Amino acid sequence: MTIVVLLALSMAAAAMTMTVVAAASFSIELIHRDSPKSPFFNQSATSLDRSRAAIYRSAHEARRIAARVQRKGGIELFDAVSRVVPDSFEYLMELRVGTPPFSILAVADTGSDLIWANCVPCTKCYKQTAPYFDPRKSSSYRTLPCNSNLCKALPHGPCADVSTCEYHYAYQDGSTIDGVLATEDLTFYSSAGSRLVFSNIAFGCNSQSSGVFSSRTAGLAGLSASPVSLVSQIVPSLDKKYFSYCLVPMSDTQASSKVIFGSAGVVVGSKVTTLMTVEDSLFALRLTEIIVDGAGSVPVPTSAPGLKKGNIIIDSCTTLNYLPTGVLSSLVQQVSRVVSLPKATDPDRILPLCFKVTGEPDWQKLPFITFKFAGEASVRLSPKSMFMEDAYQVVCLAVADSGFDTPIFGNVAQQNLHVGYDLDIPAVSFASADCTKL
**284 vs 41: CA distance, rounded Å:** 32
Task: Report CA-CA distances (Å) from 419 to 102, 224, 249.
Answer: 30, 15, 14
The predicted pLDDT at position 37 comes to 80
- One-letter amino acid identity for 86? P
CATH at residue 63 = 2.40.70.10
Averaged over 46-74, what is the pLDDT?
78
The predicted pLDDT at position 41 comes to 87
The predicted pLDDT at position 1 comes to 41
Residues 47 and 106 in one domain: yes
Reported as a pLDDT band with limits 50, 70 and 90, residue 310 is: very high
Give the residue, 118 or 159, on which the prediction is more confident.
118
Residue 72 lies in a domain: yes
Reported as a pLDDT band with limits 50, 70 and 90, residue 321 is: very high
Residues 408 and 279 in one domain: yes
Determine the distance from the C-alpha atom of residue 395 to the mean position of all C-alpha atoms in its chain, rounded to a whole number: 25
20: pLDDT strictly greater than 80: no
83: pLDDT strictly greater than 80: no
Domain termination site, one of 196, 211, 246: 246
Cα angle 22, 228, 143; round to 5:
85
77: pLDDT strictly greater than 70: no
Residue 341 lies in a domain: yes
Residues 241 and 271 in one domain: no
Nearest CA to 425 among 241, 220, 230, 229?
Answer: 241
315 is catalytic: yes
The predicted pLDDT at position 136 comes to 97
Q: What's the alpha-carbon Rg for the chain, to the nearest Å?
A: 21
Percent of the chain residues past pLDDT 90, beyond the cut: 53
Question: What H or E segment, with its residue span, contains residue 259?
Answer: strand 257-261
Residue 251 lies in a domain: no
Reported as a pLDDT band with limits 50, 70 and 90, residue 160 is: confident
Give the residue, 65 or 369, on which the prediction is more confident.
369
Residue 256 lies in a domain: no
Residue 437 lies in a domain: no
Residues 286 and 392 in one domain: yes
Percent of the chain residues past pLDDT 70, beyond the cut: 89
Range with lowest mean pLDDT among 203-217, 258-272, 362-376: 203-217
3-state secondary structure of 149: helix
Residues 289 and 425 in one domain: yes
152: pLDDT strictly greater than 90: no
Domain termination site, one of 246, 279, 312: 246
Each residue's pLDDT tens digit, 179-203: 999 999 999 877 667 788 999 999 9
Residues 137 and 210 in one domain: yes
Residue 80 lies in a domain: yes
3-state secondary structure of 23: coil
Residues 198 and 275 in one domain: no
Name the active-site residue from 34, 113, 280, 315: 315
pLDDT, averaged across the chain: 85
The predicted pLDDT at position 139 comes to 98
Each residue's pLDDT tens digit, 408-426: 999 999 999 999 999 999 9
**167 vs 203: CA distance, rounded Å:** 11
The predicted pLDDT at position 289 comes to 98
Range of the domain at 343: 266-432
**403 vs 7: CA distance, rounded Å:** 32
The predicted pLDDT at position 15 comes to 32
3-state secondary structure of 138: coil
Give the residue, 89 or 182, on which the prediction is more confident.
182
Residues 62 and 203 in one domain: yes
Residue 261 lies in a domain: no
User: pTM of the predicted model, to two decimals?
Assistant: 0.88
Residues 181 and 324 in one domain: no
80: pLDDT strictly greater than 90: no
The predicted pLDDT at position 173 comes to 66
Averaged over 134-154, what is the pLDDT?
93
Give the residue, 228 or 17, on which the prediction is more confident.
228
Question: What H or E segment, with its residue span, contains residue 220?
Answer: strand 219-222
Nearest CA to 91 among 252, 229, 220, 246?
Answer: 220
Residues 223 and 285 in one domain: no
| Residues paired with 187 in a beta bridge | 197
362 is catalytic: no
22: pLDDT strictly greater than 60: no
Q: How many domains does the chain have?
A: 2
Residues 366 and 397 in one domain: yes
Each residue's pLDDT tens digit, 200-239: 999 999 999 987 788 888 888 888 999 999 999 999 999 9
Residue 191 lies in a domain: yes
292: pLDDT strictly greater than 70: yes
Give the residue, 415 or 63, on which the prediction is more confident.
415
Residues 227 and 310 in one domain: no
Give the residue, 29 or 412, on which the prediction is more confident.
412
The predicted pLDDT at position 27 comes to 86
Name the active-site residue from 109, 178, 280, 390: 109
Strands 242-246 and 219-222, sheet pairing: unpaired
Reported as a pLDDT band with limits 50, 70 and 90, residue 87 is: low
305: pLDDT strictly greater than 80: yes
Reported as a pLDDT band with limits 50, 70 and 90, residue 278 is: very high
The predicted pLDDT at position 359 comes to 82
